[in-house]
């Protein structure tokens, strides 16, 4: 059974350049793929990667994505959110929406992989509320040496 990511911890969402305009991340980055009947929004649990060092978390996450993805587009970013913060923002902004859950769903090539569950209706409103909860963003590509 999947375990819940603590509210005190953080998750990162991979955002393609398709969701970024003029350097600004848009809520489309937090929409589910409806045509694939996606049930959860894929994120990565940062404290699972490293307990506290954000720079190290991002560096290792960049490495994970570089290994598991065919290509990481230039301009792709990781958006970082606090689990408790995103749950609270969605609950307050959409009282009729189910309370979101963030569950750890590790994969062999992605041990920190997790998912945000509960986005069933009003997904566009939830997406905008998740965007509001973004704390920071980082390049998804490792810098070239």
Partner 1 sequence: MIHPKSMTRMTRARPHDTLLSSGAHWGHDIVPYEIEANVPEASAEFVDDVGITVGNRQDIYFGSAAPRTAMTNRDYTVVSSTAATTSQDLTPVFQRDIGNESISIGLGAFGQEWQLLSGRLALQIKEQFQLPFGITIAGGQNIYLAGPVLWAVIDPFSQNVHSSVLMLGDQPVLSAGIGLLQSAPERIGGKLDSIIQEIATTPRIGLSIACRLRELRLQQTQDSESSPVAIESAECFLEFLGSARGVNLPSLTLTPDGNIYASWRKRDRVFSAEFRSGGFATYVLFRPTPGGTGSKLRSAGSAPACDLLSIPETSPAVWAFS
| 59, 43 contact by CB (below 8 A) | no
Rule CB under 8 A: say whether 85 interacts with partner 1: no
DSSP code at position 64: H
Which residue has 């953080």 as its token pair? 10
| Site map 36..65 versus partner 1, x via CB under 8 A | --x---------------------------
Rule CB under 8 A: say whether 20 interacts with partner 1: yes
Among 26, 59, 85, 110, binds partner 1 (CB under 8 A): 26
CA of residue 127 relative to chain centroid, distance: 11
Backbone angles phi, psi at 37, to 5 degrees: 55, 40
Report how many residues bind partner 1 under the rule CB under 8 A: 32
Supply 63's token pair: 């490495």
Rule CB under 8 A: say whether 128 interacts with partner 1: yes
Which residue has 């062999």 as its token pair? 108
Q: Point out which residues bind partner 1 (CB under 8 A).
A: 16-22, 24, 26-29, 31-35, 38, 70-71, 73-75, 93-94, 122, 124-125, 128-129, 141, 144
């Amino acid at each position: 059974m999947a375990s819940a990511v603590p509210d005190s911890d953080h998750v990162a969402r991979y955002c393609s350049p398709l969701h970024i305009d003029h350097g600004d991340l848009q809520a489309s980055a937090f929409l589910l793929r409806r045509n694939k009947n996606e049930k959860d929004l894929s994120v990565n649990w940062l404290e699972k990667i490293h307990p506290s060092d954000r720079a190290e978390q991002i560096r290792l996450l960049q490495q994970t994505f570089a290994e598991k993805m065919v290509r990481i587009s230039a301009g792709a970013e990781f958006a970082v959110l606090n689990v408790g913060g995103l749950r609270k923002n969605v609950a307050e902004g959409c009282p009729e929406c189910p309370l979101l859950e963030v569950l750890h769903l590790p994969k062999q090539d992605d041990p920190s992989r997790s998912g945000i569950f509960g986005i069933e209706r009003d997904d566009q409103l939830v997406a905008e509320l998740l965007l509001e909860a973004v704390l920071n963003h980082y390049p998804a590509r490792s810098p070239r040496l």
